[in-house]
Each structure stands twice: as structure tokens, then as C-alpha cells.
């Protein structure tokens, strides 16, 4: 018994030989009084240094054992492990989340104006087009305005962006819409900014049209 | 260094599933962890917070790669647990980060422990006095050995050199000193009135 207690004393000081670990682990269950005594011994130094008496009265081992045993029986309570695995998922999913958010914005920017135009007569672009509008757009677009216009006309009328607004806004804005779509695609392909620029423009554009009504 | 080697071995065995190895780590470090967290959350909450810290350490043990000493890692967990406890009680944690070594060295009257009761201070003084008296009455060789260990922080090898005796004798003297002091300490600790705080 005394030899075992001496092992506990050496453990507290970090002076236990590695080959003595097994003997000490075996005695943990056999000599509960020794573990209680070891708790008090560890407090002696604390008190000699003029610190708290807390540690002399508090044996944490039993509570820790119970909690670990409970968790082993109910693994779902392992919060830290769960948090760690969530963190791994988050790190992995971070780029995908950004892409998903950008894609959602782009879709919203395209679909919302399309939904607004439902019910409005097709071909209002041409009806509302003032003379010279196309020249104005061509002067600011880095893309060939003819190509952009052709792509616009290839799309079904129900999907043309800004058709409803075109009843109010000049055709230059319609072309500017197209330009922004093309430009946003170009920027996205180059990895510079994605569709956010267009989304910002579309939101502003829609706001303008509502004010003009 | 030897202490770190012991911790490394216990951590390795605990990571391999030997629960008792972790028990030994708890026994080895519980006193220091208690002191540490009590300076943040006070004596009343310290046992719960310290226990929580050990449980968190156990859960996170598979992720411990040994890049720092085990006690450094454990103390960081304990400090974070204590800070979280303060936040959950809507008490402001320390504005600045406290280094693990600094936290250990803080006296009990430093700014961290601002919520202890006069009663707890009285009890502390009473038990400390009893321990001091018991140490003073120890035979010279035992008193010298435990003083060099607990107050000077010397290793057994260094104490053996200072006292000019084998390491085994140092180990035995320190154990015997503790056993004698414990005869005084145990009845004080087991007094019912002191269990209530």
C-alpha cells in the first residue's frame, strides 16, 4: 500500500518512471483512498505557496469519470467532436458557399425582372426604342453591340431582361442590360467580381422603373 | 523534461483508449487547473469549470498532436472554459489574454479573483496555517525535501544532488512528508462545515 502511495506521490511530481505506469493504473480502482490522498497531497504544495485550499477539497476524478462514461453510453452528447467535424465541413464548403451565394444573386437578378415582365406585350423593346439608343450603348460597351443585340433577340420574349422596364426606359437601357449580362459573364470567367455588378445594376434599374411609374 | 515525457506517455496511452491513463492525467493536473480557473470564476464555480475543462480535453484528446506540452494545451482549454463560464454569467472576462505561466503565478489576491467570500478566505487561512505548522514540525530531511520540491520546484535529481542522497531517497522523503502533513490536512478538509462552500 505504501509503495503504491509513493507511486502516486511521484506521479504528482512528474517523476513516475514509465515502467511504473501500469502498476499505478491497476491500483486506481483497487485503492480509491490513495487517489483521495493524492488529491490532498497535490494541494499541499499549493497551500505551501500561499494559494487556495480549494484543490485540497475537490476531487475531480470521479466527476470526470462519470461524465466520460455517460458520454460513452450516449455518443450524441459529444459536443466538441460534433463542433470539430462541423468546422471541417465549413472549411471544405467555404468556396462552394461563396459560389452558391453568387449564383443565387445572379439567378435572382435574371429571374425577378423576368417575372415582372409576365403579362407585358412582347416586343416592347422595339416599340419603345428611341433613335440613337444603340449608338450610345456601343460607345460604352467593350463587346460588339451587334452580337449582344443578336443574343438578346435570340432569347424568347418572355425571358428578355428588362422588357417591362423598357416600356418606361429607353432601349439603351435594354442594351445596357445585355451589356451588363455579357460583361458580368466575362468578369466571372476571369474571376473578377462575378455577377454581382449586374445584380447591383439590375436592382438599381428596377428601383428606377418603379419610381418612374 | 521528465514531467513532459510522463505526460506524453499518458496522453499516448489515453489516445489508444486506456481510460486509466487519462485518470492519471486528471490526478496529476487537477490541482493546478483548479487554481487556474478559480482565479477567473471564483472558488464556488471552479470545481465545475475545472471538471468541464477535463471533459473537453478528453473529447479533444484524439486531435492533440503534441505540438505543445500537454499541460499548456490543457490550461488553454481550462482558461477558455472559464472565460466562457464568465460570458454565460454575463460577467466580463479579462480584457487581455493571460499567459498560462502568468496565470499560474498570479497570487490569490490578484484582480482575477474578485468574487471570493470572506468566509472562503478565512478557511484558506486556517488550512494554510495548519499546513505550515505541520511542515515546520517535520524532521529536517523531510522538510528540506518537500520544500525544495514544492517551493523551489526542483526535480528529484536536483534535490538528490542538493541533499547529497540517492533519488530513491528523495522520492521516499517527499512521500513521507506528504503523508505526515496529510494527517493534519485530512481532518480539516473532511469537516462538514467546510464542505458547504
ipTM of the complex model: 0.84
Can you tell me the distance from the alpha carbon of B52 to that of B77, in angstroms, rounded to the nearest whole number? 9
Residues 6+ apart with CB under 8 A from A52: A46, B34, B35, B38, B43, B108, B124
Q: For residue A134, how many other CB atoms are within 10 A of its CB?
A: 18
Please give the pLDDT value at position A99: 67
> Is A203 in the same domain as A120?
yes
Identify the closest residue of chain B to A51 by CA–CA distance.
Answer: B108
Q: Which residue has the higher pLDDT, A79 or B20?
A: B20
Q: Which residue has the higher pLDDT, B70 or A82?
A: B70
B19 and A68 in contact by Cβ < 8 A? yes
> Is A71 in the same domain as A102?
no
pLDDT exceeds cutoff 90 at B187: no
Facing residue for B51 by CB, picked from A49, A60, A79: A60
In a domain, A89, yes or no: no
> Is A101 in the same domain as A206?
yes
Please give the pLDDT value at position A43: 85
Please give the pLDDT value at position A164: 43
Can you tell me the distance from the alpha carbon of B159 to that of B147, in angstroms, rounded to the nearest whole number? 10
Range of the domain at A129: 95-212
> Is A102 in the same domain as A174?
yes
Can you tell me the distance from the alpha carbon of A177 to that of A161, in angstroms, rounded to the nearest whole number? 7
Please give the pLDDT value at position B33: 92
Closest Cα to residue A63, out of B22, B82, B48? B48
B30 and A60 in contact by Cβ < 8 A? yes
Specify the DSSP class assigned to residue B90.
Answer: T
Last residue of a domain, one of A77, A111, A140: A77
pLDDT per residue over B19-50, tens digit each?
999 999 999 999 989 989 988 898 888 999 99
Can you tell me the distance from the alpha carbon of B150 to that of B32, in angstroms, rounded to the nearest whole number? 13
* Under 8 Å between Cβ of B156 and A13: yes
* Under 8 Å between Cβ of B141 and B170: no
In a domain, A87, yes or no: no
* Under 8 Å between Cβ of B152 and B159: no
pLDDT per residue over A11-25, tens digit each?
999 999 999 999 999
Please give the pLDDT value at position B157: 95
Percent of chain A with pLDDT over 90: 10
pLDDT exceeds cutoff 80 at B6: yes
> Is A138 in the same domain as A174?
yes
Closest Cα to residue B171, out of A192, A7, A147? A7
In a domain, A6, yes or no: yes
> Is A199 in the same domain as A100?
yes
> Is A59 in the same domain as A133?
no
> Is A115 in the same domain as A207?
yes
B54 and A48 in contact by Cβ < 8 A? no
Please give the pLDDT value at position B139: 96
For chain B, what are the domain ranges?
Answer: 1-115, 117-197
Facing residue for B181 by CB, picked from A39, A44, A80: A44
Rounded to 10°, the helix B46-60/B19-41 angle is 140
> Is A106 in the same domain as A197?
yes
The domain at B117-197 falls in which architecture?
Orthogonal Bundle (1.10)
In a domain, A63, yes or no: yes
Can you tell me the distance from the alpha carbon of B124 to that of B105, in angstroms, rounded to the nearest whole number? 18
State how far Cα B127 lies from the chain centre: 16
B127 to chain A: which residues are within 8 Å by CB? 47, 53, 56
Rounded to 10°, the helix A171-189/A196-212 angle is 160
In a domain, A145, yes or no: yes
pLDDT per residue over A99-142, tens digit each?
666 777 777 766 666 655 554 444 443 433 344 344 344 343 44
> Is A130 in the same domain as A70?
no
In a domain, A170, yes or no: yes
Identify the closest residue of chain A to B121 by CA–CA distance.
Answer: A52
Q: For residue B76, how many other CB atoms are within 10 A of its CB?
A: 14
Instruction: List, as one string, the DSSP characters of B10-76.
Output: HHHHHHTT-HHHHHHHHHHHHHHHHHHHHHHH-TTTHHHHHHHHHHHHHHHGGG--SSS-HHHHHHH
> Is A129 in the same domain as A186?
yes
Rounded to 10°, the helix B167-190/B118-136 angle is 140
How large is the average pLDDT for residues B166-189?
93
State how far Cα B110 lies from the chain centre: 18
Instruction: List, as one string, the DSSP characters of chain A.
Output: -HHHHHHHHHHHTT---GGGHHHHHHHHHH-HHHHHHHHHHHHHHHHHTT--SHHHH---HHHHHHHHHHHHH-GGG-HHHHHHHHHHHHHHHHHHHHHHHHHHHHHHHHHHHHHHHTTSPTTHHHHHPPTTHHHHHHHH-SS-HHHHHHHHHHS-GGG-TTHHHHTTS-HHHHHHHHHHHHHHHHHHHTTSSTTHHHHHHHHHHHHHHHHH-
Q: Does domain B1-115 have CATH number 1.10.1740.10?
A: yes
> Is A43 in the same domain as A107?
no
**CB within 8 Å of chain A, chain B residues 28-47:** 28, 30-35, 38, 43, 46-47
Domain count, chain A: 2
Q: How confident is the model at residue B75 (pLDDT cuts 50, 70, 90)?
A: very high
Closest Cα to residue B73, out of B181, B21, B81, A200? B81
A53 and B31 in contact by Cβ < 8 A? no
Instruction: Judge if pTM exceeds 0.95.
Output: no
B28 to chain A: which residues are within 8 Å by CB? 11-12, 14, 42
Amino acid at each position: 500500500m505504501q509503495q503504491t502511495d509513493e507511486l502516486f506521490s511521484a506521479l504528482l511530481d512528474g517523476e513516475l518512471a514509465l515502467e511504473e505506469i501500469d502498476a499505478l493504473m491497476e491500483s486506481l480502482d483497487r485503492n480509491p483512498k490513495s487517489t483521495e490522498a493524492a488529491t490532498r497531497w497535490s494541494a499541499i504544495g499549493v497551500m505551501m505557496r500561499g494559494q487556495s485550499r480549494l484543490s485540497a477539497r475537490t476531487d475531480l476524478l470521479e466527476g470526470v469519470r462519470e461524465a466520460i462514461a455517460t458520454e460513452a453510453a450516449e455518443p450524441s452528447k459529444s459536443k466538441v467532436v460534433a463542433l470539430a467535424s462541423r468546422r471541417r465541413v465549413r472549411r471544405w464548403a467555404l468556396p462552394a458557399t461563396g459560389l452558391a451565394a453568387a449564383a443565387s444573386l445572379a439567378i435572382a437578378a435574371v429571374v425577378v425582372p423576368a417575372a415582372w415582365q409576365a403579362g407585358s406585350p412582347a416586343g416592347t423593346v422595339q416599340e419603345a426604342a428611341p433613335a440613337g439608343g444603340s449608338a450610345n450603348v456601343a460607345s460604352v460597351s467593350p463587346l460588339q453591340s451587334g452580337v449582344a443585340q443578336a443574343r438578346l433577340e435570340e432569347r424568347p420574349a418572355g425571358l428578355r431582361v428588362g422588357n417591362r422596364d423598357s416600356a418606361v426606359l429607353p432601349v439603351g437601357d435594354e442594351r445596357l442590360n445585355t451589356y451588363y449580362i455579357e460583361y458580368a459573364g466575362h468578369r466571372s470567367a476571369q474571376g473578377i467580381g462575378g455577377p454581382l455588378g449586374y445584380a447591383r445594376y439590375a436592382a438599381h434599374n428596377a428601383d428606377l422603373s418603379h419610381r418612374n411609374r | 523534461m521528465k514531467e513532459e515525457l510522463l505526460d506524453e506517455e499518458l496522453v499516448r496511452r489515453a489516445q489508444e483508449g486506456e481510460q486509466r491513463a487519462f485518470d492519471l492525467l486528471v490526478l496529476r493536473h487537477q490541482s493546478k487547473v483548479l487554481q487556474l480557473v478559480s482565479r477567473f470564476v471564483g472558488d464556488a464555480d471552479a470545481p465545475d469549470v475545472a471538471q468541464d475543462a477535463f471533459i473537453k480535453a478528453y473529447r479533444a484528446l484524439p486531435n492533440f498532436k503534441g505540438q505543445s506540452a500537454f499541460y499548456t494545451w490543457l490550461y488553454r482549454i481550462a482558461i477558455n472554459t472559464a472565460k466562457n463560464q464568465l460570458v454565460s454569467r454575463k460577467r466580463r472576462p479579462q480584457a487581455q489574454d493571460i499567459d498560462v505561466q502568468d496565470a499560474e503565478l498570479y497570487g490569490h489576491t490578484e484582480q482575477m479573483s474578485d468574487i471570493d467570500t470572506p468566509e472562503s478566505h478565512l478557511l484558506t487561512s486556517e488550512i494554510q496555517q495548519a499546513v505550515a505548522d505541520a511542515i515546520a514540525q517535520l524532521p529536517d530531511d523531510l522538510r528540506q525535501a518537500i520544500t525544495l520540491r514544492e517551493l523551489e520546484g526542483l526535480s528529484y535529481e536536483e534535490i538528490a544532488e542538493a541533499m547529497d542522497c540517492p533519488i530513491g531517497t528523495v522520492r521516499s522523503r517527499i512521500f513521507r512528508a506528504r503523508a505526515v502533513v496529510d494527517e493534519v490536512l485530512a481532518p480539516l478538509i473532511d469537516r462538514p462545515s467546510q464542505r458547504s462552500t
